[in-house]
Structure 1
Amino acid sequence: LSRSSCLSQLAEELPSHEPRYILVTYHYEKSDGRVVYPYCMIFSTPEGNCEAVLISMRSYLTYKSVCLNVVRIRLYLSFL
């Protein structure tokens, strides 16, 4: 599957009424030829659901403490 079709499929499977954490891994070949499978944690939340976001932030802080790198990106998948 292509990356865009995988994202579209993922967006369709997410519940529209509550936040979710998604852990994604992918194949990546470094310049020296080594193959690694890095992890990417995605937090998905419906628009306008502030109470659920606040509740789930407790879990976010726990996950963040065990991850080596954390990058926050805010995406709106309404275009999919």
Structure 2
Amino acid sequence: MVGARIRELRLEQALSQEALALESGLSRNMIIGIEWGRKSVAYERLWDIADVLDVPVSQLLLPPDSAATISPYRGGRRPMGG
């Protein structure tokens, strides 16, 4: 559930998995694994991810609002409006 919420927040901010990984100090494979529930995230790393997403850690622990419907984007931050 935490991974799905991280994915939801990342997509809302038009942030790629690679950009989130680089800014949080995690690998892209780790971000993918967390988002898809295949890897657990260290407690301390939640703060790094929350900092990049500019949300309190408590926001990462909420259930996702809905299933992600936006396709993956691999070019850093997605241009606004598109």
TM-score of the superposed pair, with normalisation by structure 1: 0.23
Identify, as 1 or 2, the structure richer in helix.
2
Greater radius of gyration (CA)? 1
TM-score of the superposed pair, with normalisation by structure 2: 0.23
Bigger RCO (CA 8 Å, 6+ sep) = 2
